[in-house]
Amino acid sequence: MRGRDLINNGLPDELILEIFQRLDSKPTRDACSLVCKRWLNLERFSRTTLRIGASFSPDTIVTLLSRRFLHITSIHVDERLSLSLPPPPLPLKRKRASKTSSSSSSSSASSSKRRKLSNKTRSGGAENAESCSLTDAGVIALANGFPLIENLSLIWCPNVSSFGLRSLAQICTSLRSLDLQGCFVGDQGLSAVGKFCNHLEELNLRFCEGLTDVGVIDLVLGCAKSLKSIGVAASAKVTDLSLEAVGSHCKLLEVLFLDSECIHDKGVVAVVKGCRRLRSLKLQCVNVTDAAFSVVGDFCVSLEILALYSFQQFTDKGMKSIGKGCKNLKDLTLSDCYFVSCDGLEAIAHGCKELTRIEINGCHNIGTRGLEAVGKSCARLTELYLLYCQRIGNSALYQIGKGCKSLETLHLVDCAGIGDAAMCSIAKGCRNLKKLHIRRCYEADYLHILFSMVGNKGVIAIGKNCKSLTELSLRFCDKVGDAALVAVGKGCSFLQQLNVSGCHLIGDVGITAIAKGCPQLTHLDISVLQKVGDASLSELGDGCPMLKDLVLSHCHYVTDNGLNHLVNKCKLLETSHMVYCPGITSAGVATVVSSCSHIKKVLIEKWKVSERTMRRAGSILSYLCMDL
């Protein structure tokens, strides 16, 4: 640093470390580490979490990271996440050799290394796929490099076996949370975890197909005094025997997730009777019946979260048992529970008055009367999700607006009976609404289409009354036009996310109103809007400088000119999707890449990318079709 360094001379290490710990953004922390050597060392000292995606050699990366970061307590390895290297830099022209020989040789050496690594990551085939997966050697290196680790996620790491897991368990005895989702580990590895990691509190075994009751029971016996959360899914050899062991030994269990056809009433009842502290129960078990939920109602007095998916033997009888006994229930999810009707939801509403979140997805026998009961009894409701509920009508949301004044989030997907009248009721009654998501809420029967469709009237009411709205999504709401967005622009100045994809009546007038009235907008999806052109992009550039995500695919009247004006003003842009925009050329793509220093992803047709743009920003470009 030139001149006098007031910060480094005046601030002790402890204070700088405290500042670093308050930085939530990884790019910000990385930028701080580049200020000087002192900040680099302090940032290394303060970092406690690492996230690793699929790369050219995760085993090598783990070894390198263990040398750099010494105080890591949480590591997340997720091989669903891609890691791409930037393209190698172009070779510099040679100048006078006397002064630059050493620097040019080191530069060429580093460029050669980067080219080799880049070629490895970009080369296809089974061999490359194999090298991009964490192995037992990498797990052992992780254990040796971070012996004090407390939280570890190894998600979809197929090459990690019981050998690596056993070695990890012997070294990392302080483990409290272990996520093995998608790992093909066996009983021996899980038994070792139970033997050595006696402080384990959270365990995720979803899609661990190599496990049987033997490994699960051994783990349960070893971690019985600490285990609080268990998740099991798609493990055909894990049966009721494992759950009986959990119920007998894990008295502190609070969270249970089960997705299995091999679990029956016997296993669920064993857990419910033995684990009296159970707070969260999420089940997708087709062989569990009302008999099990009768016991849930009797014993789970502390239950706060209940999620039931695809139940074929769960009826209103089970719902009534829960409503009668689980008075502290706050979060209820019912997905594809075809035999639950309005009677069951009424029982829950009358008995569970503490409910704050309800999600109903594909339960075709639940109609207006059931949701009306929620509006009358559950005054503390803050989140409501209705998906594919064809029998719920306007009067249900009228009652929600009347009785649930604290509602902040409302999601409606393919609810044919809900229209403008319902939206007006919500707008007038739920003035604290912050998130409204609507998708295709219209009736296909043209005889009733005027009475059950969300259009301008309902959205105008939202704009006039819900001043705190931050997220608005109106995907494929065919009757929503410019007048609705004008009202939103005037009334919802805190709006941050807007999705009007497929609302073909919206044009430049509506988008201009949003640009002028919503300066905090960060996400905008205007795809498939045929009436939007360069005028909208120009106004967005002037009025929404905080814009980060822009989706304008299938906008036929947007050209390079409008895009150029927007990116020159919106310097924080990170993602841009612009496929099937005939007015955008390779010049427009180059403008986005060169003008936006924070850009991370551009989705575009491959033929619109010039060679120069490819060399400059190949790592951030995504293509609709790789090969045509």
The predicted model scores a pTM of 0.86
- Residue 562 structure tokens: 């409008």
Cα separation, 440 vs 46, in Å, equals 48
What pairs with residue 410 in β-bridges?
384, 436
pLDDT at 431 over 90: yes
Task: Give me the chain's average pLDDT, please.
Answer: 88
Structural contact between residues 406 and 381, judged by C-beta atoms closer than 8 angstroms: yes
Helices (H) and strands (E) in the chain, counts: 26, 21
pLDDT, one tens digit per residue, over 531-567 is: 999 999 999 999 999 999 999 999 999 999 999 999 9
Least confident of 153-162, 227-236, 269-278, 440-449: 440-449
Position 64 scores a pLDDT of 85
pLDDT at 45 over 70: yes
Structural contact between residues 473 and 499, judged by C-beta atoms closer than 8 angstroms: yes
Q: In this prediction, what percent of the chain has a pLDDT beyond 90? A: 70
Give 3's pLDDT tier (boundaries 50, 70, 90).
low
- Count of CB atoms within 10 A of residue 310's CB? 15
Say if strands 305-309 and 74-82 run parallel, antiparallel, or are unpaired.
Answer: unpaired
- Residue 61 structure tokens: 């990366």
pLDDT at 85 over 60: no
Position 530 scores a pLDDT of 93
pLDDT at 4 over 90: no
pLDDT at 109 over 80: no
Which 3 state secondary structure label does DSSP give 236?
Answer: coil
Position 131 scores a pLDDT of 53
* C-alpha torsion angle, residues 149, 150, 156, 160 (rounded to 10): 50
Q: What is the mean pLDDT of residues 122-148?
A: 73
Give 95's pLDDT tier (boundaries 50, 70, 90).
very low
pLDDT, one tens digit per residue, over 475-499 is: 999 899 999 999 999 999 999 999 9
pLDDT, one tens digit per residue, over 172-200 is: 999 999 999 999 899 999 999 999 999 99
Q: What is the mean pLDDT of residues 225-229?
A: 96
Cα separation, 43 vs 38, in Å, equals 9
pLDDT at 339 over 90: yes
> Containing H/E element for 549?
strand 549-551
Cα separation, 585 vs 626, in Å, equals 18
| Domains of the chain listed by start with CATH number | 11-47 (1.20.1280.50), 53-80+133-288 (3.80.10.10)
Give 18's pLDDT tier (boundaries 50, 70, 90).
confident
Amino acid at 229: S
Give 82's pLDDT tier (boundaries 50, 70, 90).
low
- Residue that is written with structure tokens 């059931």 in the block: 370
Question: Nearest to residue 234, comparing CAs of 215, 214, 209, 203?
Answer: 209
Which 3 state secondary structure label does DSSP give 588?
Answer: helix
Higher pLDDT, 114 or 442: 442
pLDDT at 224 over 60: yes
Find how far residue 571's CA is from the centre of its chain: 25
Report long-range pairs for 334-337 (Cβ below 8 Å, ≥24 apart).
Answer: 334/308, 334/359, 334/360, 334/361, 334/363, 334/366, 335/307, 335/308, 335/309, 335/310, 335/359, 335/361, 335/362, 335/363, 336/309, 336/310, 336/311, 336/361, 336/362, 336/363, 337/308, 337/310, 337/311, 337/363
Phi, psi torsion values for 537, nearest 5 degrees? -65, -35
- Mind giving me the DSSP string for 520-542? T--EEE-TT-TB-BHHHHHHHHH
Cα separation, 516 vs 514, in Å, equals 5
Question: Nearest to residue 58, comparing CAs of 158, 182, 125?
Answer: 158
Helix 240-249 / helix 213-222 crossing angle, nearest 10 deg: 10
Q: What is the mean pLDDT of residues 429-458?
A: 76
Position 319 scores a pLDDT of 96
Structural contact between residues 449 and 419, judged by C-beta atoms closer than 8 angstroms: no
Position 55 scores a pLDDT of 60
Higher pLDDT, 28 or 333: 333
How far CA 94 is from CA of 104, 107, 114, 115, 421, in Å, comes to 8, 12, 20, 20, 73
> Containing H/E element for 389?
none
- Mind giving me the DSSP string for 350-362? HH-TT--EEEEES
Position 34 scores a pLDDT of 82
- Count of CB atoms within 10 A of residue 506's CB? 26
pLDDT at 121 over 60: no
Phi, psi torsion values for 471, nearest 5 degrees? -130, 130
Sign of CA dihedral 165, 166, 172, 174: positive
Amino acid at 106: S
pLDDT, one tens digit per residue, over 259-281 is: 999 999 999 999 999 999 999 99
Q: What is the mean pLDDT of residues 85-89?
A: 43
Question: Nearest to residue 231, comparing CAs of 302, 179, 303, 194?
Answer: 179
Structural contact between residues 396 and 435, judged by C-beta atoms closer than 8 angstroms: no
- Residue 560 structure tokens: 């390079």
What pairs with residue 305 in β-bridges?
280, 331
Which 3 state secondary structure label does DSSP give 80?
Answer: strand
